[in-house]
Amino acid sequence: MFRHWKILLLMLAITLVPMTVLGQDQPVTLRVVGFVVPPEEIGTPLDQAYQDFLATFQENNPNVTVEALETPPEFDTQLLTDLAAGTAPDVWQQDGSTLARLIDTGNVLDMRQCLDVVPELSLDRFYPSVLNIHMPEGEDGPIYGLPNDFTPMVIYYNPLSFENAGVEVPTPDWTWEDFLDISQRLTLDAEGRNATDPDFDPENIVQYGYRHRHYVFEWIYWVWQNGGDVIAPDGSTVDGYLNSPETIEAITFLRDLVLEHHVSPEPVSLEQMTQQAGFLPVFLEGDVAMFPRGHWELVGLRNQSNYEPERVAVISNPSNVEEATVIYESGWIINNAVAEDPAKLEAACRLVEAATDMDYQLTKGISGVAIPANQAAAEQIAEETEFPELEQAFLEAVAAGRPPYGARFAIWPIVEQRLDLMMENILAGGDIQEEVDLAVEEINRELERAGQSGS
Amino acid sequence: MATANRTQAGVDHYVPAKQSLWKRFWSRSNERVGYLFILPSLIHLIIFVIIPLVFSLYLSFTDWRGPNFQNAPFVGLDNYEFLLGDRRYWNAMRNTAWYTILSVPGGMIASLIVALVMNQKLRGVYIFRTLFFMPVISSWVAVSVIWITLLDPNAGILNYVLRQFGIPPVNWLGDPATAMPSIVLISIWKGLGFQMVIWLAGLQAIPQELHEAAAIDGATRLQSFLRITLPLLAPTTFFLAVTGVIGSFQVFSPVYVITQGGPRGSTEVVVYNIYQRAFEVFDMGYAAAQAWVLFGVIFLATLVQLWYRRRQGEEVLF
């Protein structure tokens, strides 16, 4: 009898061991969006980097075939349609600003499953504030995707404009008070008088200090810096937030930059200045000394015919009550359907691990559009780049970065449109309290409806 | 049965026995063949028009925010109720009505003037007709880019002309007061050729003898135009007015390409609003409700026009 047990065990081992090994090496095909350049960029270093990455990944994972798909136009719409049809990719790159809507569909894998399957995928590699974008329920909650690359919003300035106005360039510890003072001294009329001069002529400005526009993605963090907010943390209301004293004070400060202190062009003037060639040549010429933007604008500026390195510098936002900026980010998302097949799940997790490790993340420096989400890669690029002080300014801003609200609230696009309109009306001379109250009423109607439907 | 009828009625002519529609259909082979001919179009109509139409109506009673329709909760009239208090939607409706009021009569008058000139026996008139028709077949994006350049506050040719007359430059697309009239101007220019062709067809259907008789009676050209041409163009006028109002309420492309609803929502029109709700926010159920309310408004506007036409004692054309 005992001899029979041994034979049985032996047979079981002979059968199970190859099955387990075969299970791991089971051929898997992953459909992935995020590693194909548009046709006009074929043959560029970025294209080469993508191909090298895929070749290396497949070499290390011979059982996995990666079917790299081109990012279609109107990707968000296409993705929702594909998810409904069951033909969505297994892994894709997702703009963090629309993440909440996607999470709501229930199609995003909780990446904690990957941490179990691929132990080398450590969360320590990411900047905490960037990783936070993917953790809407806090540290103990699910992780919807992992960061790929990002940028905090910072302030670009033209050192030549500062020189022209005889103003010292700012330091990272600057405050709102410093910002206003610097902006006023940078704003010059045709006679060379700055905006602090009692004889300053606001009808004849030749150099502006700053560019403030109505788009909420460029001003929401000013509200945060003043200790205010525009919406409740649970997204249930804007009443008590958008109309709070702190928020009103921040909106007033921004409005006054345009209408009271004249340090920022009025919308009509700005449009006239930029209609022909866009804003960037105007900035590089020194007609506007500072403007808020993300890392991607470095690429745009370098492509201008009047670009010179000494005309571009970057600094983190000034603080008031607290330091704050917003981080715009793209992340890697795994389709929840992948979890049904353990082999596919492991392959997808391995792909995301490889796409966020140091080697691949260093290739983010090629395009320069965004900063690698991998801390070590970002710091190495910042050290090795031609203009380390620029990259350093971006990295210094990361700690104070907060998630974009599109990653928190599915209804944010509607709120965003209404806030844009509110600020547009205020900059056109509308009464702040009236415009804010109107926005509160209309947005709350929308939030109430969304709350009833559970969105 | 036929015999019985004849006996009861006491008449001598043949009264056919009543058959059901289905039997009558199958008893006429010619009709059956006819239906075969229209079958492909019918299938196309059912799949691509009728089913989506019914589906969108159903959709307007749900809160479908994608991606899976199966999970969309049925909310009854909630979307319509919400829409009643949606200030932004009614602002867009107001803008659309303003666009319609400006563009329909404006376009009709401009195209009639062009058609009257193009109806003359002039050398090269066909070339001019082709030129006037060219914007109709051009893409909205190309047309928009051209007009953005023409309306540029600094370098645009329109402001250049104004400056020659000592008029200060206008920020055509950047000022809420002038943005919508600018869009109307562009739309009229683009649609001029199509309306001109319809007017031309109407003008050429007017017998020349009437004008000759009027001339013999001493009528001036203006009198001849007002008393003969215009009244006889009434069916064409009615057709252009009805199709113009329907088309204007659905304006989308120039707003999407040129102003995106700005400045300050002054060019936000209903279809652009629907587009944003459906494809930027994926609020499909509510967008469908908005579309059906728009349909109701257009339907009502058309009914009013038909009623007015009937009151005038004219036959209805459609």
Neighbours of B134 (CB within 10 A): 11
Are the C-beta atoms of B61 and B80 separated by less than 8 Å?
Answer: no
The answer to whether A205 and A199 are in contact (CB under 8 A) is no
When CB atoms are compared, the residue of B66, B85, B155 closest to A84 is B66
Domain annotation for chain B: domains and CATH numbers? 85-311 (1.10.3720.10)
Residues of chain A contacting residue B67, judged by C-beta atoms under 8 Å apart = 80-81, 83-84, 105, 107
For testing contact with chain A, the best of B280, B284, B290 (most A CBs within 10 A): B280
Tell me if A141 sits within 8 A of A135, measured CB to CB.
Answer: yes
Q: Do A84 and B174 count as a contact with CB atoms less than 8 A apart?
A: no
Nearest to A268 among B82, B174, B279 (CB): B174
- Residues of B contacting chain A (CB within 8 angstroms): 63, 65-69, 73, 75, 78, 82, 85-88, 152-155, 171, 174-176, 262-265, 276, 279-283
Distance to chain B for A440, nearest Cα, Å: 13
Cis check: omega of the bond before A202, within 30 degrees of 0: no
Tokens 């140091």, located at residue: A358
Structure tokens given for B243: 């199709």
The model's pLDDT over A250-290, given as tens digits with 9 standing for 90+, comes to 999 999 999 999 999 999 888 888 877 789 999 999 999 99
Selected for mutation to probe chain A from B55, B61, B65 (highest A CB count within 10 Å) is B65
From the CA of B81, how many Å to the nearest CA of chain A?
11
Domains and CATH numbers, chain A: 26-152+328-402 (3.40.190.10), 154-325+412-453 (3.40.190.10)
Count CB pairs under 8 A between chains A and B.
Answer: 69
Q: Which of A80, A418, A445 sits opposite B66 (nearest CB)?
A: A80
Q: How far apart are the first and last CA of chain A?
A: 64
Q: What's the confidence (pLDDT) of residue A324?
A: 95
Q: ipTM, 2 decimals?
A: 0.81
- Helix (H) / strand (E) element for A147: namely strand A146-152
pLDDT, one tens digit for every residue, chain A (455 residues): 445 656 655 555 554 444 444 445 679 999 999 999 988 889 998 899 999 999 999 999 999 999 999 988 888 888 888 888 889 999 999 999 999 989 988 899 999 999 989 999 999 999 999 999 999 999 899 999 999 999 999 999 999 999 999 999 999 999 999 999 999 999 999 999 999 999 999 999 999 999 999 999 999 999 999 999 999 999 999 999 999 999 999 999 999 999 999 999 999 888 888 877 789 999 999 999 999 999 999 999 999 999 999 999 999 999 999 999 999 999 999 999 999 999 999 999 999 999 999 999 998 888 889 999 999 999 999 998 888 899 999 999 999 999 999 999 999 999 999 999 999 999 999 999 999 999 999 999 999 998 865 55
Place of tokens 């409005």: A255
Cβ atoms within 10 Å of B242's Cβ, excluding its own: 18
Is A453 in Cβ contact with B63 (below 8 Å)?
yes
- Three-state DSSP at B147 gives helix
Q: Calculate how close chain A gets to B225, using CA atoms only, in Å.
A: 46
For B86, which residue in chain A has the nearest alpha carbon? A442
Predicted pLDDT at A11:
57
Rounded CA-CA distance B303/B289 in Å is 21
Find the closest chain B residue to A410 by CA distance.
B281
**Whose CA is closest to A98, among A108, A86, A89?**
A108
Residue with token string 């009271």: A260
Residues of chain A positioned with their CB less than 8 A from the CB of B91 = none
